[in-house]
Amino acid sequence: MKAAAFDYVRAADLDEVCRLLAEAGDEERKIIAGGQTLVPLMAMRMARPDMLIDINDVPGLSEIEDRGDQIAIGGCTRQRAVERSDLISGRLPLLAKAVRNVGHIQTRNRGTVGGSIVHGDPSAEIPLAALALEATVVLRSASAETEIPLDGFFEAAMVTNIEPEQILTEIRIPVWQGHAIGTGFHETASRQGDFAIVAAAAQVELAGDGTIARAAVSAGGVAPSPVKLRGVEAALAGRQADDLDAAFEGLGDEIDPDTDVHATAAYRSRVAKKLVARAVADAVAEAKR
Amino acid sequence: MSEMEITLNVNGRNRTVSVPPRMTLVDCLRDMLRLTGTHVGCEHGICGACSVMFDGEPVRSCLMFAVQAEGHKITTVEGLADDDGKISDLQDSFWECHAMQCGYCTPGMLVASQALLAENPNPDDNEIREAISGNLCRCTGYQQIVEAVKMTAQRRRAVRS
């Protein structure tokens, strides 16, 4: 359970990070931020990078910024900082609810928002909430900076659409403007803080007549990557908020759960239906207040 | 890669050591600095036995490489006692409540509890349980650990009032 040998560089700025990544050649060079996913992978020798580029001293990667219609979160922002941020609890309550379920205080103190996204664990909570809200990520390399939607970023379990020469510098999450907005987040795990077996995130806006004006819904642990439930969202829109059951009927077609040591595919399907319904019900109840 | 020289502030003292980059912080504390109070259990971030304070916040020292701690402040279980070597009120409550059996998880439990009480002087049972949820006690002595944290909070309230 010891990591294989590697070279270590503590980068001073983003240009140095991008240069080191660009000059990797045949070497595998990995960025280390919080290390809460990468270090266990290295300890188990599932990852053996030749070089670690530490970005903890790189300025400008740890800010949470209000940009009006979106919140921008630096890639190296600690999960604990998100949990403690008044800006996040006020403007992105769904993310605030999700982050409390990420690991434990000790891991949230080190673990970062960017790290959680680039690793693409199928049951991770931050990607789930961000995906529901149609977030985008900013990827930077020595030659270019691109902004891409999170929908499509997750390719498979622990595989994401980031090139070896890129670093995730920022995630941008849209903020809904409106009065009757509510959020809900539910997950089931063996114990609080364990990896979620299934998780569900929902945000809704109610219209003046009590119907759902729009809904954002996603589920984790039910496919190789988190799933944005576009069918459920469409079925919820326009429906009276006290009569939602029919909206979840097509949910089974949108997910593709696997059986593993933690749960069977059938169990995951059943639980997903329940948790999504609960998350939406919580969101509706909150929106009515 | 060859070794790197790093300076860490451990329990208030600057310590300079030479370590290979792949050495975890917990191995550095135990094997290089001979601070064996911090325990090493699973070595992949599950058990919490290696918890230390990093710049005042609890972290798992098996999930950090020692080179990453260069220039930072670390408090281990050895640093929880008062300057004269007397055990802290939290440690005393652990003793009083028999909040340990084999003692393996104890340093991690103490660090997690210390962090909780620093942030929340009046935790309820659920908050205490959540704060130590990242620490496994294989003896399953959780009940007494929760009692000990509560006792510490009560004693501190009594001193203040």
Mean pLDDT by 10 residues, chain A (289 residues): 95 98 97 97 97 98 97 98 98 97 96 97 94 98 97 94 97 95 96 89 96 97 96 97 94 95 96 98 96
A8 and B43 in contact by Cβ < 8 A?
no
Q: Which of B1, B57, B134 sits opposite A7 (nearest CB)?
A: B1
Share of chain B above pLDDT 90, in %: 94
Identify which of A90, A96, A122, A138 has the alpha carbon closest to the alpha carbon of residue A218: A122
Average model confidence (pLDDT) for chain B? 96
Fold of the domain spanning B89-160: DNA polymerase; domain 1 (1.10.150)
- How far lies A187's CA from each of A62, A103, A107, A121, A220, in Å? 27, 13, 18, 15, 9
pLDDT at A168: 98
CB pairs under 8 A between A and B: 92
What is the domain partition of chain B in residue ranges?
Answer: 4-79, 89-160
Instruction: Write down the pLDDT at residue B2.
Output: 87
pLDDT given at position A194: 85
Q: Which candidate from B20, B43, B48 shows the least CB-CB separation from A106?
A: B48
Note whether A172 and A63 are within 8 A (CB): no
Yes or no: say if A244 and A204 are a contact pair by the CB < 8 Å rule: no
A62 contact B CB<8A: no
- pLDDT score of A122: 87
Which of A1, A8, A40 is the closest to B21 by Cβ?
A: A8
First to last CA, chain A: 51
Of B1, B60, B133, the CB nearest to A6: B1
Fold of B4-79: Ubiquitin-like (UB roll) (3.10.20)
- Per-residue pLDDT reduced to its tens digit, B6-27: 999 999 999 999 999 999 999 9
**Helix H or strand E segment including B124:** none
From chain A, the residues in CB contact with B48 under 8 A are 104, 106
Which parts of A73-147 fold into alpha helices (H)?
79-84, 86-91, 93-99, 105-108, 113-119, 125-132
Kindly state whether A6 is in contact with chain B, defined as any CB-CB distance less than 8 angstroms: yes
- Work out the pLDDT band at B1, boundaries 50, 70, 90: low
Kindly determine whether residue A35 and residue B57, on different chains, have CB atoms separated by under 8 Å: no
Residues B83-116 pLDDT 10s: 888 999 999 999 999 999 999 999 999 999 999 9
> Which H helix or E strand runs over A168?
strand A167-174
Say if the Cβ atoms of B22 and A36 lie within 8 Å.
no
Q: Mean of the pLDDT values across residues B50-76?
A: 98
The reply to whether B4-79 and B89-160 are identical in fold is no
Q: Are B65 and A8 in contact (CB under 8 A)?
A: yes
Taking only the tens place, the pLDDT of each residue in A9-51 is 999 999 999 999 999 999 999 999 999 999 999 999 999 999 9
